[in-house]
Copies of this chain bind each other. A is one copy, B any other.
Amino acid sequence: MTDFGVFFGRADQLLDPGFRGEPDIRSVEPASATVPVFDLGLLRGDGVFEATTIVDDVPLAWHLHVRRLAQSAAALDLPAPNLPAVEAFVHAAIRLMGPTAHAHLKLVITRGADATLSAVSVPTEPTVFAIVDPAFGRKSPEIAIATLERELLRDSAQRAPWLLLGAKTLSYAANMAARREFERRGAQNAVFVTRDGYVLEGPQASVALREGDRVVTPHPRIGILHGTTQIELFAWAALSGLEIGYEDIAVERLLSADRVWMMGASFVQSVTAVDGRPIAHDLADADVVNAFMQTERAAIDAWTRAHVPG
Which residues does A use to contact B, with CB under 8 Å?
A: 1-2, 4, 6, 30-31, 33-47, 49, 75-77, 106, 108, 110, 117, 119-122, 129, 131, 135, 148-153, 156, 159-164, 167, 169-178, 180-181, 195
Q: How many copies does the complex hold?
A: 2
Not counting A4-B117, A75-B177, a sample of 18 additional A-B residue pairs whose C-beta atoms are within 8 angstroms of each other reads: A2-B120, A34-B34, A34-B37, A40-B176, A41-B42, A43-B49, A43-B106, A44-B170, A45-B45, A45-B170, A148-B162, A152-B152, A153-B195, A161-B177, A162-B177, A162-B181, A163-B174, A171-B173
Q: Which residues of B contact A181 (CB under 8 A)?
A: 161-162
Cβ B44 vs Cβ A42 within 8 A: no
Cβ A170 vs Cβ B42 within 8 A: yes
User: Min CB distance, A237 to chain B, in Å?
Assistant: 31
State the majority secondary structure of interface residues on A: mixed
Q: Which residues of B contact A148 (CB under 8 A)?
A: 160, 162
Q: Which residues of B contact A110 (CB under 8 A)?
A: 42
CA distance A308 to B181 in the complex (A): 29
Q: Which residues of B contact A40 (CB under 8 A)?
A: 176
Q: Which residues of B contact A44 (CB under 8 A)?
A: 45, 170, 172-173, 175-176
Cβ A45 vs Cβ B149 within 8 A: no
CA distance A44 to B179 in the complex (A): 12
Q: Which residues of B contact A169 (CB under 8 A)?
A: 45, 173
Q: Which of A4, A37, A167 has the most CB of B within 10 A?
A: A37
Q: Which of A1, A45, A106 has the most CB of B within 10 A?
A: A45
User: Min CB distance, A191 to chain B, in Å?
Assistant: 13
From A172, which residue of chain B is reached at the shortest CB distance?
B44
Give 25 A-B contacts (CB < 8 Å), ordered by A residue: A2-B119, A4-B120, A31-B122, A33-B37, A33-B38, A34-B36, A37-B129, A39-B42, A40-B176, A42-B110, A42-B170, A43-B49, A44-B170, A44-B175, A46-B172, A151-B152, A151-B160, A152-B152, A156-B195, A161-B177, A164-B173, A167-B173, A170-B173, A171-B171, A171-B173
CA distance A2 to B46 in the complex (A): 23
CA distance A175 to B46 in the complex (A): 9
Cβ B170 vs Cβ A164 within 8 A: no
Q: Which residues of B contact A174 (CB under 8 A)?
A: 162-164, 171
User: Min CB distance, A189 to chain B, in Å?
Assistant: 14
Q: Which residues of B contact A195 (CB under 8 A)?
A: 153, 156
Q: Which residues of B contact A34 (CB under 8 A)?
A: 34-37
From A49, which residue of chain B is reached at the shortest CB distance?
B43
Q: Which residues of B contact A159 (CB under 8 A)?
A: 149, 151
Cβ B30 vs Cβ A122 within 8 A: yes
User: Min CB distance, A233 to chain B, in Å?
Assistant: 26
CA distance A244 to B110 in the complex (A): 42
